[in-house]
Structure 1
Amino acid sequence: MRVLYLTEEAISFSDAMVRGGAIHVRNVVTGLRDRGHDVTLLDWNDAPERPFQLSVSPRTRFVDGPLRTLGHAVRIGDRRNVDVIVSKTRKTYLPGLFAARRLGVPHVVHVGSSLDPPVEGLRGRLDLASFGARLRAPHDGYLVVCAHIGDQLRERGVAPDRIFDVRNAVDVDRFHPDRVPTPLADRFRDQLPADDGLVVGFVGGLQPYKGLDDLADALERTERDWHLLVAGDGPDRDRLEGRFGQQATFLGSVPYEQIPALYHEFDAFALPSHTEGLPRVVLEAQATATPVVATRVGGVPEVIEDGGTGLLCDPHQPADLADALDRLTPDAGERDRLGRQGRAAVETEFSWPALYERYERDLRQVIE
């Protein structure tokens, strides 16, 4: 296949990246190329690093970026005689569609986040409305990361035969229970709790919808003390640091190559979100055999069987979250069992090679 892949993110092939979406783009582009496909990446980047990476450097993200993407996509697609255009991010959805129509090839969008996230203020409502309008455009295919998002698209009138569940993926060799590819740096290790108590971890952006206030309430209810270790940053950090006090350590942004080692410091991983697509952090925790406590939102129940490969509770329910953590405290046996079964659940179906196969199969179907 000859694929033109569009994203508004700047993709690096040499430096470590933190954002899951950018990591997804890099891995899919290189993975499909390794499997013999001619994939060209068009990203928004001042310093492209690969011959197949043809970047634009927009002056603004709202008008100039999409227009430059459209012009470049038409020229590149025509020159390389592409079979399909894939648009990964929302600001490339319409430029990708218009370019595909100009070239006479199908257009596919990647949808990796829930279609009904909680929003605040006029700007948030306008952004969500814009997202919905872009999805209602006549795309030829929708690559979704979980069945939940597929259901949301069908409810909005998208034909079922245009929806393809490629799922998310995790590097099961890098995230592994028995080995750490890169040791944790001293600047982070020095901040780890000094005692031998139980540590619950969180990795992600510090946003209200991540439910960390619920986790704070839950930790006040648990029978045994837990210390929270947070890797991530965001607008809620200062407030949350005050809320948790001495019960939590906030590491800030942690380079992605350090994240596998960090999971080995957790006795459990918590994701108390109010909304999600299919969060990669859950797959990462499971791949390292770290027991997961998460909420029943988005695609999370598709990868966690409650009581089998992790523990689930309803969102906005701190008491249920506390009960789940208490279930892990009596001894290490339950934590080990959930961790092992979580690892077994992801190491085949949610590996990157399995995702590449799904991408190949679904793109071929759209093209044909």
Structure 2
Amino acid sequence: MRVLYLTEEAISFSDAMVRGGAIHVRNVVTGLRDRGHDVTLLDWNLAPERGFQRSISPRTRFVWGPLLTLDRAVDIGRQQDIDVVVSKTRKTYLPGLVAARRLGVPHVVHVGSSLNPPVDGLGEQLDNASFSARLRAPHDGYLVVCDYIGRQLRNRGVSNDRIFDVRNAVDVDKFHPESVPTPLAEHFREQIDASGANQGTHNLGFVGGLQPYKGLDDLAGALDQTERDWHVLVAGDGPERDRLAARFGERATFLGSVPYEQVPALFHEFDAFCLPSHTEGLPRVVLEAQATATPVIATRVGGVPEVIDDGETGLLCPPQRPAALAAALERLASDESECERLGNRGRAAVETEFSWPALYERYERALRQVIE
């Protein structure tokens, strides 16, 4: 297949990246190329690194960026005689569709987040309305990361034969219970040691953006309701950091953004991992925790129940219920064998279905079906 892959993110093939979406693009492009497909990447990047990477650098992300993407996509499509256009990010959905129509090839969008996220304020309402409008355009295929998003699309009138569940993926060799490919940087090590973590406490991990919908206030409320000595290691940054640091006090250490190549080592610092989100698609961070055999507590939202079998490969709680989170924390803290059982079964669950090679096969099968 000859694929033109569009994204508004800057993709690096040599430097470490933090954002899961960018890592997904890099892996899919290189994975499909390794499988013999001619994939050209069009990203928004000042410093492209590969011959198959055709980057643009728009002066603005609105209007100018999409228009430049459209123009360049048509040029590349004609030069490469492509078979299909894939648009990974929202700002490329419409230019990708128009380019595909001009080229006479199908257009596929990747949908990795819930279509009904909680919104706060007019800005977020307009952003979500724009996202919904772009999805209503006549795309030929929708690559979704979980059946939950597929159901949302079907409820909005998208026919089932245009929806392909490609799932998400994790590197099960790098995220492994017995090995650490890259150790934590010294300043992270010093922060953890200075916090008192690992000194008679249970270490609870969180990795993600510090946004209200991630539910960290609920986790703080859960700690208020448990007598167990948990210390939370928070990896990530965002607008809520200062307020959350004050809310948790000495019960948490905020590490800031951790480079992605060091995240596997970070999971080895956790006795358990918690994702108390109010909304999700299929969060890769849950798969990463499971791959390292770290027992997971997560909320029953989005596609999370599709990867966690409650009581077997992790623990599920209702969203925005601190008492339920507290009960799950009590369960893990009181039974070391239960932690080991949940961790091992979580690892077994992701080793095959959620590996990157399995995702490449699903991607390849979906694109072939759309082209045919």
TM-score, normalising length from structure 2?
0.98
- Is it true that 1:208 corresponds to 2:218 in the alignment? no
- Is it true that 1:30 corresponds to 2:37 in the alignment? no
- Deviation digits for residues 292-338 of structure 1, max 9, x if unmatched? 00000000000000000000000010000000110001131110000
Q: Which residue of 2 aligns with 1:71?
A: 71
Equivalent of residue 355 in structure 1, options 325, 335, 359: 359
Q: Which residue of 2 aligns with 1:109?
A: 109
Q: Which residue of 1 aligns with 2:99?
A: 99
Q: Which residue of 2 aligns with 1:287?
A: 291
- Is it true that 1:325 corresponds to 2:301 in the alignment? no
1:134-283 to structure 2, matched below 5 A, reads: 134-192=134-192, 193-194=195-196, 195-283=199-287
Q: CA deviation at 1:94?
A: 0.3
Report SS of the residue matched to 2:269.
coil
Give, in whole Å, the separation in 1 of the partners of 2:268 and 2:184.
10
Report SS of the residue matched to 2:67.
helix
Matched AA of 2:226: T
TM-score, normalising length from structure 1?
0.99
Matched AA of 2:108: V
- Is it true that 1:86 corresponds to 2:90 in the alignment? no
Report SS of the residue matched to 1:190.
helix
Q: Which residue of 1 aligns with 2:45?
A: 45
- Is it true that 1:296 corresponds to 2:300 in the alignment? yes
- Deviation digits for residues 245-298 of structure 1, max 9, x if unmatched? 000000001111110000000000000000000000000000000000000000
Report SS of the residue matched to 2:175.
coil
Give, in whole Å, the separation in 1 of the partners of 2:38 and 2:188.
41
Matched AA of 1:185: A
Give, in whole Å, the separation in 2 of the partners of 1:196 and 1:91.
48
Q: CA deviation at 1:38?
A: 0.1
Matched AA of 1:110: H
Report SS of the residue matched to 1:227.
strand
Q: CA deviation at 1:225?
A: 1.4
Give, in whole Å, the separation in 2 of the partners of 1:100 and 1:191.
50
Q: CA deviation at 1:57?
A: 0.4
Q: Which residue of 1 aligns with 2:17?
A: 17
Report SS of the residue matched to 2:40.
strand
Q: Which residue of 2 aligns with 1:131?
A: 131
Q: CA deviation at 1:121?
A: 1.1
- Deviation digits for residues 36-90 of structure 1, max 9, x if unmatched? 0000000000000000000010000011100000000000001100000000000
Matched AA of 2:241: R
Q: CA deviation at 1:196?
A: 2.5
Q: CA deviation at 1:185?
A: 1.3
Give, in whole Å, the separation in 1 of the partners of 2:203 and 2:285.
17
Q: CA deviation at 1:191?
A: 1.2
Q: CA deviation at 1:222?
A: 1.3
Deviating more after overlay: 214-223 vs 49-58: 214-223
Q: Which residue of 1 aligns with 2:8?
A: 8
Report SS of the residue matched to 2:177.
coil
Matched AA of 1:61: R
Report SS of the residue matched to 1:115.
coil
Give, in whole Å, the separation in 2 of the partners of 1:139 and 1:96.
9
Q: RMSD over aligned Cα, in angstroms?
A: 0.5
Give, in whole Å, the separation in 2 of the partners of 1:156 and 1:300.
21
Give, in whole Å, the separation in 1 of the partners of 2:358 and 2:137.
29
Q: How many residues align?
A: 368
Q: Which residue of 2 aligns with 1:121?
A: 121
Give, in whole Å, the separation in 1 of the partners of 2:330 and 2:371.
51
Q: CA deviation at 1:97?
A: 0.2
Matched AA of 1:123: G
Matched AA of 1:130: S
Matched AA of 2:210: L
Structure 2 segments unaligned to the other structure (5+ residues): none
Report SS of the residue matched to 1:86.
strand
